[in-house]
Structure 1
Amino acid sequence: MQFWCLDMQNLENFSEPRSIHVLLFDEFSNHCLANAIEPFRAANTIARRKLYVWEHFSIPGGKVTSSSGLPVETRPMTVAARGGDYLFIMPSYGYGELSNPKMSQSLRAARRRYATLVGMDTGAWLLAKAGLLDGRSATIHWDEYTPFLEAFPEVNAVEDRFVIEDGLATCGGASTTFELMLELIRREHSPTFALEIAALFMHGDKLDMYDPLQRWSADALVRSATALMRRNLEQPLSIPELARQLRSDQRTLEKRFQEKVKSTPLSIYRGIRLREARRQVELTTLSIAEIAERCGYRNTSAMIRAFRQEFGHPPGSYRRTS
């Protein structure tokens, strides 16, 4: 019950969806684009409502082609005069040619219209050239870190995977884009909500047990535990067995869950199983008994009681109204 209700309380604060405008340039990374948008698509799917909406823009509008040849139709930035919640700035290889006075002027104007500007991949270079990162911490794709450090001494360049400051965020590339999006979602909703999105993409699916830093990282341990839970629904693992497979101990595992998501591994596991049950109730014609078994309930009545407690209706009536 706790796993879902924590998120529902946060979702109630969103009367209108957050608006995301993605500013693309030729030679952009479609890997970066997918990692920027898919977490928000997943957030909408899990929440059963539009928490986020997005549109693709370019300076002139029209077709923009990624570095791998993927074409994307965009709208001209002139139609985005009202701004929005987020502007994702996504250049890649051509950032040098884009670093011109006209681009800087456009980004300074956008700073007044958007709550948050996000420089992805080499986007931090354009933000810095516009003077928007002066006195701020920022990061960039690590291949460009040293030139960035030398070109903008007024920026506190750091080798972090992503950096979030008031109204500005930067990250270093495709995988770090995904992590930044999860962090934005975590801050707007809850750690458990972001954790479920991460698990949906199998983020943190494997924990490198031979890397002592990663082994004892709370983020890595919680993500890996959640991924392991998702892979073991029909035959749920006990929490001691879960900890053993992660080469941790139960006390450490439970402490890390409290630190990161303010919940217990058992509660998170239960929530994952019940939402898988809900998905099967909505999307399949399987009997309730078979769904219960597939989600680790040997007693169908126990699953029905837990389902009603979690979602407010028993699975049968939920199926009829969904």
Structure 2
Amino acid sequence: MKSTDGTCRVLLWLFERFSMHCLANVVEPLRAANTIARRPVFDWRYVTLDGLGVASSSGLPVLPHSAVAAAERADFLFVMPSYDARAHATARCLSALREAAARHGAVAGMDMGSWLMARAGLLRGRRATIHWDEIDAFAEAFPEVDVQHRRYVIDGTCLSSGGAMTAFDLTTRLIGDLFGEGLRLEVAALFMSADIERPEDPLRRLPRGRMVESAIALMRKHIEDPLPLPLVARRLGVSLRELEARFAAELGAGPKGVYRSLRLSAARRYVEQSSYPVSEIALRCGYRNASAMTRAFNAEFGVTPRDLR
């Protein structure tokens, strides 16, 4: 979901003793997306129940922009309690949460946020997860919720994430869904996320569940000399059809499009950070000539390499 001006508006509802690690793993990918896109694709505001400041579990104080009830409509509301989540489930808080859920586009329970969402009745009949230390108690307390032991869950307009590290996974997933897999991959690369690692062992030794990560690592290794997709699949010990199915299921994009985005992202870095002529950049990014790369570059980023430079 994006606002009419193309900016996704996000509210971050903080509670006393919220996890700073969890907050950073939401805000920093959003900030990075803006930096890489060179425009405010995300706009975020901090809110609290009463508009007063709160302190993180590590003691860092945060002064919010407003009370949650006074905030303008947003595309996403991130509910971010961590410690003492049960104590926050007051009648006033739950009422404010229900009103906010009706007013904003989607609600994401981060860390223990799902507990408040369930107590407010927002997860009835929905799939959700929570911090794994609490998942059994959560399932017992809310039998009407389809509790899943997953890093994050997206069920329509209700989202949930299990903790600080999974907050990064969910946030980068949203970046990809909203603004394309190319931007998601660039954000992940900036933070040296696991899905851009280049493992030392042969890729075929990796667990089956890391097939997409392994394929991306192989693609990154062969930017200048792109591998045919059937060869990528063969290196991973799977069929091309299975590789395409895995990419579609995990990324919502095909391996061909992801490979193209990786090569063009590399081209943009060369444009910005080097003095190579466009013809040299084209060769370094696997294009036979500058014209072909320029057309692809313009289609991907809305600007030619020369105009960007």
Normalising to structure 2: TM-score of the pair? 0.79
Residues in 1 aligned to 2:88 and 2:200: alpha-carbon distance in whole angstroms: 40
Gaps of 5+ in 2: none
Q: Which residue of 2 aligns with 1:83?
A: 73
Residues in 2 aligned to 1:169 and 1:283: alpha-carbon distance in whole angstroms: 38
Q: Does residue 216 in structure 1 map to residue 208 in structure 2?
A: yes
Residues in 2 aligned to 1:208 and 1:321: alpha-carbon distance in whole angstroms: 35
Residues in 2 aligned to 1:258 and 1:65: alpha-carbon distance in whole angstroms: 41
Gaps of 5+ in 1: 1-9
Q: Which residue of 2 aligns with 1:248?
A: 237
Query: Are the aligned partners of 1:199 and 1:227 in contact in 2 as well (CA < 8 Å)?
Result: no
Residues in 1 aligned to 2:265 and 2:134: alpha-carbon distance in whole angstroms: 42
Q: Which residue of 2 aligns with 1:305?
A: 291
Greater shift in the superposed pair: 56-65 or 161-170: 56-65
Residues in 1 aligned to 2:200 and 2:305: alpha-carbon distance in whole angstroms: 41
Deviation at 1:244, TM superposition (A): 6.2
The counterpart of 2:9, out of the listed 11, 19, 34, is 19
The structure-2 alpha-carbon separation of the partners of 1:290 and 1:309, relative to structure 1 and needing over 3 Å to count, comes to: closer
The structure-2 alpha-carbon separation of the partners of 1:166 and 1:256, relative to structure 1 and needing over 3 Å to count, comes to: closer
Deviation at 1:234, TM superposition (A): 5.3
Residues in 1 aligned to 2:153 and 2:304: alpha-carbon distance in whole angstroms: 46
Q: Does residue 282 in structure 1 map to residue 272 in structure 2?
A: yes
The structure-2 alpha-carbon separation of the partners of 1:151 and 1:200, relative to structure 1 and needing over 3 Å to count, comes to: same
Query: Are the aligned partners of 1:121 and 1:171 in contact in 2 as well (CA < 8 Å)?
Result: yes
Q: Does residue 149 in structure 1 map to residue 110 in structure 2?
A: no
Normalising to structure 1: TM-score of the pair? 0.76
Residues in 1 aligned to 2:173 and 2:165: alpha-carbon distance in whole angstroms: 13
Aligned length in residues = 301
Q: Does residue 137 in structure 1 map to residue 127 in structure 2?
A: yes
- 1:180 counterpart letter in structure 2: L
SS of 1:74's partner is coil
CA RMSD of aligned residues (A): 3.7
Residues in 1 aligned to 2:234 and 2:83: alpha-carbon distance in whole angstroms: 45
Query: Are the aligned partners of 1:82 and 1:113 in contact in 2 as well (CA < 8 Å)?
Result: no
Residues in 1 aligned to 2:147 and 2:308: alpha-carbon distance in whole angstroms: 53
SS of 1:93's partner is coil
Off by >6 Å, runs of 4+ in structure 1: 207-210
Residues in 2 aligned to 1:284 and 1:36: alpha-carbon distance in whole angstroms: 31
SS of 2:58's partner is coil
The counterpart of 2:160, out of the listed 170, 176, 180, is 170
